[in-house]
Amino acid sequence: MVANVTLKKAKQNKQDEFYTQIKDIEQELKHYKKHFLRKIVFCNCDDPEWSNFWKYFELNFDYLGLKKLISTHYEENKPSYKLEIIGDVTGDGKVDYKDIIKTPLKQNGDFRSPEAIEILKEADIVVTNPPFSLFREYIAQLMKYNKKFIIIGNQNAYTYKEIFTLIQQNKIWSGNKSGDMEFKVPDYYEPRATRYRQDETGQKWRSMGNICWFTNLDISKRHENLILYKQYNESEYPSYENYDAINIDKVTDIPLDYDGVMGVPITYLDKYNPKQFEIIELGIVGSCTFTNNRKMEILDKNGLSTGKFTYNAKGTLYKKYNPMLDKKPAFKDVETGELYSSIYARVLIRKRSS
DNA sequence: AAAGCGGCTCGTTCAAGCAG
DNA sequence: CTGCTTGAACGAGCCGCTTT
């Protein structure tokens, strides 16, 4: 049984082999230069032979004034190794691959292994693209050991309970770039209809439109106000029926003159400046309260019947909001004909009084 | 027609709760 | 305890509009 679970996990984790491009690393890390002086950088989810994170720090070791660079290599089920650079040990006047010190590990180099955790304790800043399937666990470990970090993640993680709480508490925040990012993927990855390509060398690529960086290092973007243009008016900004807030479907539509609570898309967190707005909570909009066993007809994207029924819209009762806010209907109450929309997340925010 | 880009779904899974 | 219902959490993407 245990072996089966392990195998299954290993298989799932295979979808975590995405290699970040050096241009994306440069573009983000240029905003953090001041943080690296005399610091120990640890890349704990990278294959140093391939990792552009390793490459970036090797090339920029002197420019950033690093004290030490460490990377652990991961092996599926056998002892691995770590690489370190502590400076120009060859004395040839520059830091490069000749200065790399390779040391065997007793364990497999997994970021959760005791050996890797010992290295983590020594490190100042962790920079990597961790496996998304272990994202919460990964962040939890960084928080536990009180480490600074700059890592790649996915906007979906904004809605993870633990991650959202950390953002709300101003313990972590999003980095500079968010949105599209393209990654090299191993050959065994299957082609897809969208966001997939194979280049002239046969290398496979995948991209995603919801990639973002997570960090707890200060960056100037965090202190910049989101520039707003629109003015509040009742007709364009309907309130939720059972929660004292207005609904907003696009970040750019946030009105500049509304003092109450607003439900905004989670992508707002890309622009979050804690001095401009405060985060009240994460909400789920949509669905509806209805008594058990009230028959609901499931509708398609055009609001037409699919011929299917449910007795409890996807098993989810809504918490706080009126679902009838210009959303495409997803359910129709068979008895009353009332329409209900589907479910999605909103961040509830309020303007800071200046 | 293709590429860029902003914004955000909904079906599955599993645990907790509850009635019998 | 068993079996069913309820509810919370999740997603290395997707969609549709705009620009080139």
Question: Per residue in A193-224, pLDDT tens?
Answer: 667 777 777 788 878 878 888 899 998 888 88
So what's the pLDDT on residue A68? 98
Residues 6+ apart with CB under 8 A from A296: A290, A309, A310, A311, A312, A313, A331, A332, A333, A334, A340
Taking the CA of residue A127 as centre, how many other CA atoms within 13 Å lie in the half-sphere pointing to its CB? Answer: 28
Provide, in whole angstroms, the distance separating residue A145's CA from nucleotide C18's C1'. 45
So what's the pLDDT on residue A131? 84
- Are A349 and A232 found together in one domain? yes
The structure's pTM equals 0.82
- Are A200 and A233 found together in one domain? no
Residues spanned by the domain of A159 = 2-222
So what's the pLDDT on residue A69? 97
- Are A164 and A214 found together in one domain? yes
So what's the pLDDT on residue A304? 59
Q: Which of the nucleotides in strand B have any atom less than 7 Å away from a protein CB atom? A: 4-14
Confirm whether any atom of chain B, the nucleic acid strand, is less than 7 Å from CB of A155.
yes
Taking the CA of residue A188 as centre, how many other CA atoms within 13 Å lie in the half-sphere pointing to its CB? Answer: 5
So what's the pLDDT on residue A37? 97
User: Nearest nucleotide by C1' from A250 CA?
Assistant: B7
So what's the pLDDT on residue A145? 93
Confirm whether any atom of chain B, the nucleic acid strand, is less than 7 Å from CB of A228.
no
Q: Is A244 helix (H, G, I), strand (E, B) or coil?
A: coil
> Which residue is nearest nucleotide C6, judged by alpha carbon to C1' distance?
A315
**Tokens 């994460």 appear where?**
A282
- Are A63 and A179 found together in one domain? yes
Ranges of residues in chain A with a pLDDT under 50 are 1-14, 287-293, 311-328
So what's the pLDDT on residue A323? 35
- Are A271 and A330 found together in one domain? yes
- Are A195 and A243 found together in one domain? no
So what's the pLDDT on residue A118? 96
Question: In the structure encoding, which two tokens stand for residue A22, read together?
Answer: 């050096």
- Are A211 and A252 found together in one domain? no
